[in-house]
């Protein structure tokens, strides 16, 4: 068992003259099943193909793409485990200081829009080698989309990257079919028949049962047409019922999306996670201090993938899909036992989950034969009558993991879907969650408390969250635990005006809680919420939605959630005035902020000067000095007073 080759020397050592695939990635090379490039590479290897890794090439140097030579079948390209633009920028547009997926956490080792840049770099050097792009960055940009960072409506990433194919979604099945087609001699331009892929063509007459989407030019000219297109796309994300989608571009070019790949069976999931991963980063990164992202996943276990939660701000529907797929207990336990043998393991399994930890089976039996419903969600606005709520399998798995020798504690840090938990008539899992699986704080995501905003978020009503909080508190009390809830909250989501933002601030006031962190809504590709942000239209029903795009108003909404922070005072005051809620400025216990005392210019000037006189250890008696300064009748007298203070301390007036 060894790492995949990253150099010609590695190829020689492994007896490889020419690689079948060269995989260009925006992350450091981490051979762990939590990293997409590791899974795809090991799956190809298991099917008899050789794969080499070029990690974070210098996109300004064409030679950086030639270090492993010309691949026999194709280049594979992924921007990384995380979208490169989200990786680089806060929602404000400010650059992030660190990149957890780069050795040493160094920022700037990958370009913006990494998949597009790498694709064009390869195409300049190897004009005739097939280029297959994948990963979350390509998957969520597979058709025309709104790009928040440039505030532009963009082409399919297939066109901008000059790639031949997109393998979208998780990709294990489609990448093997692509490899087999290329290996059999089929030209890449003729690979138009594989589920989970997107291709370009000028001929669509042979497409059976395809759905034409509004053209790129139509959508660019009229955002409402984009909202209509997105709703068609959303209704065709299911592998059982999804149709082929056709998007027209100028000059007779079409981008064609085949239906998604089928979900993995439990055995197929086990096979993927049982592959011979090294489970850590490449040793060449040791000198730089390793790859920070490994700390979060090294002692965590992936239990499932897919999510039927249906949150509108989340892109999981377009990437992993709504059908939950799970690993067997035996596979997870094998991985956990290997984990306990690692020298750095301290007895704590950090997580057992996935997109949603407590989803361990499809929401209803018909999904595995008929697919998910096109026109309704499983949990929103209320749990579907056909929803099967059962935590028994997950609970059994957690009990087995707790019983492993060497395991002290098993935590759950993936998201817990609290409305699904509350729909379970059996409290056993809830009790054991509180008793065994919370590390002092349980993180949950109500996101907001205004039912108006929650309906646009695709989240349950406020009353459901309040019932959950009450039950969680009661269980902790009965077990003698002092464990807290950490609610994730979002500001400025479409539909949130200052009225709703103030409503959230009042709720936090009554709760006596101020979040340390607030997530301002981040418009990323392929989410319902991003379509709302760009178009001002809810694509589900065509109705207009209020959208907060003004940076200053966004700052006010964010400040209201942290209204107790003195640094937010002026923003909170302005928001309350603009929202017509001056009643919340005062001394009553219901008020958010107190009025600040209006002071004279002379007082302010004197105090500022006084503050500049304090010595390093801060032992000057501030109150006495302030009074002495304020007693001066004129500026001249004040300066004399200040000078006397300095002289007493053996200093000179500056």
Q: Which among 418, 430, 422 is positioned nearest to 392, based on CA atoms?
A: 430
Based on the domain organization, do 112 and 16 belong to the same domain? yes
Mean pLDDT of the region 507-534? 93
Mean pLDDT of the region 1-24? 96
Mean pLDDT of the region 249-258? 97
Encode pLDDT of 213-227 as tens digits.
Answer: 999 999 999 999 999
Number of domains making up the chain: 4
Residue at a domain's end among 391, 410, 437: 437
234 is a domain residue: no
DSSP letter for each residue of 237-262:
--TTT---EEEEEGGGEEEEEPPPPP
DSSP letter for each residue of 439-476:
SSEEEEEEE-S-HHHHHHHT---HHHHHHHHHHHHHHH
105 is a domain residue: yes
Residue at a domain's end among 416, 437, 458: 437
Q: What is the pLDDT of residue 643?
A: 55
233 is a domain residue: no
Q: Which among 631, 627, 633, 654 is positioned nearest to 643, based on CA atoms?
A: 654
Residue that is written with structure tokens 């992350």 in the block: 27
Based on the domain organization, do 64 and 148 belong to the same domain? yes
242 is a domain residue: no
Q: Is 535 helix (H, G, I), strand (E, B) or coil?
A: helix
544 is a domain residue: yes
Based on the domain organization, do 543 and 573 belong to the same domain? yes
Based on the domain organization, do 133 and 37 belong to the same domain? yes
Residue 396 sits in a domain whose CATH number is 3.30.750.210
Q: What is the pTM of this model?
A: 0.89
Encode pLDDT of 534-547 as tens digits.
Answer: 999 999 999 999 99
- What is the helix (H) or strand (E) element at residue 21, kind and residue range? strand 21-25
Q: What is the pLDDT of residue 305?
A: 96
Q: Do the strands 351-353 and 30-31 form a parallel or antiparallel pair, or are they unpaired? A: unpaired
Q: Is 402 helix (H, G, I), strand (E, B) or coil?
A: helix
Based on the domain organization, do 42 and 190 belong to the same domain? yes
The answer to whether 321 and 526 have CB atoms below 8 angstroms apart is: no
Based on the domain organization, do 444 and 430 belong to the same domain? no
**Cα–Cα distance for residue pair 140/523, rounded to 1 Å:** 12
Encode pLDDT of 581-629 as tens digits.
Answer: 999 999 999 999 999 875 545 445 544 444 444 444 444 344 444 444 4
Residue at a domain's end among 418, 437, 456: 437
The answer to whether 240 and 370 have CB atoms below 8 angstroms apart is: yes
Based on the domain organization, do 57 and 15 belong to the same domain? yes
Distance of CA 82 to the CA centre of its chain: 7
The answer to whether 494 and 544 have CB atoms below 8 angstroms apart is: no
Based on the domain organization, do 445 and 430 belong to the same domain? no
Within 8 A by CB and 6+ apart from 565, the residues are: 514, 559
Based on the domain organization, do 144 and 126 belong to the same domain? yes
Residue 464 sits in a domain whose CATH number is 3.30.750.200
Encode pLDDT of 33-88 as tens digits.
Answer: 999 999 999 999 999 999 999 999 999 999 999 999 999 999 999 999 999 999 99
What are the CA-CA distances from residue 347 to residues 408, 414, 431, 458 (Å)? 5, 19, 22, 38
Q: What is the pLDDT of residue 599?
A: 54
Based on the domain organization, do 388 and 355 belong to the same domain? yes
Instruction: Kindly report the average pLDDT of the chain as a whole number.
Output: 92
Domain interval for residue 557: 440-596
Burial of 287 (0-12, 13-18, 19+ CB in 10 A): exposed
318 is a domain residue: yes
Take residue 607 and report the two structure tokens written for it. Answer: 């105090």
617 is a domain residue: yes
255 is a domain residue: no
Task: For Cα atoms 499, 502, 504, give the angle at the middle one, nearest 5 degrees.
Answer: 115
**Cα–Cα distance for residue pair 388/401, rounded to 1 Å:** 24
Based on the domain organization, do 419 and 444 belong to the same domain? no
Based on the domain organization, do 59 and 190 belong to the same domain? yes
């Amino acid at each position: 068992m060894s790492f995949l080759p990253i150099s010609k020397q590695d190829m020689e050592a492994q007896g490889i003259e020419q690689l079948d695939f060269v995989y260009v990635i925006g992350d450091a090379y981490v051979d762990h099943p939590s990293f997409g490039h590791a899974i795809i590479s090991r799956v190809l290897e298991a099917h008899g193909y050789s794969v080499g890794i070029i990690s974070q090439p210098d996109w300004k140097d064409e030679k950086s793409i030639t270090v492993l030579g010309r691949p026999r079948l194709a280049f594979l390209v992924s921007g990384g485990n995380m979208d490169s633009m989200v990786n680089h920028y806060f929602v404000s547009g400010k650059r992030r200081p660190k990149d957890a997926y780069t050795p040493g956490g160094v920022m700037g080792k990958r370009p913006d829009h990494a998949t597009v840049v790498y694709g064009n770099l390869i195409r300049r050097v190897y004009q005739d080698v097939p280029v297959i792009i994948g990963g979350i960055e390509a998957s969520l940009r597979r058709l025309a989309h709104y790009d928040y960072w440039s505030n532009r409506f963009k082409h399919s990433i297939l066109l901008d990257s000059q790639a031949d194919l997109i393998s979208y979604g998780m990709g294990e099945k489609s990448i093997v079919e692509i490899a087999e087609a290329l290996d059999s001699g089929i030209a890449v331009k003729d690979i138009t028949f594989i589920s989970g892929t997107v291709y370009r063509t000028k001929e669509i007459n042979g497409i059976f049962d395809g759905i034409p989407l509004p053209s790129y030019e139509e959508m660019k000219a009229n955002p409402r047409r984009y909202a209509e297109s997105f709703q068609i796309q959303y209704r065709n994300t299911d592998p059982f019922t999804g149709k082929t989608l056709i998007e027209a571009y100028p000059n007779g070019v079409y981008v064609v999306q085949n239906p998604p790949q089928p979900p993995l069976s439990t055995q197929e999931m086990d096979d993927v996670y049982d592959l011979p991963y090294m489970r850590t980063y490449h040793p060449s990164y040791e000198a730089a201090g390793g790859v920070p992202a490994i700390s979060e996943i090294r002692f965590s276990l992936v239990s499932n993938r897919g999510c039927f939660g249906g949150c509108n701000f989340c892109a999981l529907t377009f990437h992993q899909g709504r059908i939950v797929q799970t690993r067997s207990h035996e596979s997870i336990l094998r991985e956990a036992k290997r984990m306990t043998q690692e020298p750095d393991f301290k007895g704590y399994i950090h997580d057992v989950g996935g997109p949603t930890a407590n989803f361990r089976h499809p929401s209803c039996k018909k999904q595995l034969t008929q697919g998910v419903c096109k026109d309704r969600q499983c949990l929103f606005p209320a749990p579907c009558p056909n929803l099967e709520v059962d935590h028994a399998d997950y609970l059994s798995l957690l009990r087995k993991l707790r019983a492993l020798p060497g395991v002290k504690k098993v935590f759950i840090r993936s998201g817990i879907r609290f409305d699904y938990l509350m729909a379970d008539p059996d409290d056993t899992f809830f009790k054991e969650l509180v008793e065994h699986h919370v590390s002092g704080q349980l993180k949950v995501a109500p996101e907001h408390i205004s039912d108006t905003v929650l309906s646009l978020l695709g989240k349950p009503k406020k009353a459901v969250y309040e019932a959950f909080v009450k039950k969680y508190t009661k269980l902790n009390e009965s077990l003698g635990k002092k464990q807290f809830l950490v609610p994730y909250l979002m500001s400025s989501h479409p539909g949130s005006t200052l009225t709703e933002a103030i409503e959230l601030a009042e709720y936090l006031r009554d709760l006596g809680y101020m979040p340390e962190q607030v997530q301002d809504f981040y418009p990323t590709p392929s989410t319902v919420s991003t379509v709302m942000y760009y178009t001002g239209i809810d694509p589900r029903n065509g109705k207009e939605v209020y959208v907060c795009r003004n940076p200053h108003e966004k700052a006010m909404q964010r400040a209201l959630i942290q209204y107790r922070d003195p640094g937010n005072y002026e923003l909170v005051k302005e928001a309350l005035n603009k929202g017509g809620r001056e009643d919340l400025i005062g001394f009553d216990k219901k008020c958010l902020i107190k009025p600040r005392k209006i002071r004279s210019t002379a007082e302010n000037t004197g105090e500022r000067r006084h503050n500049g006189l304090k010595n390093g250890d801060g032992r000057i008696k501030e109150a006495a000095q302030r009074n002495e300064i304020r007693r001066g009748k004129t500026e001249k007298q004040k300066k004399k007073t200040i000078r006397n203070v300095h002289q007493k301390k053996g200093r000179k007036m500056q």
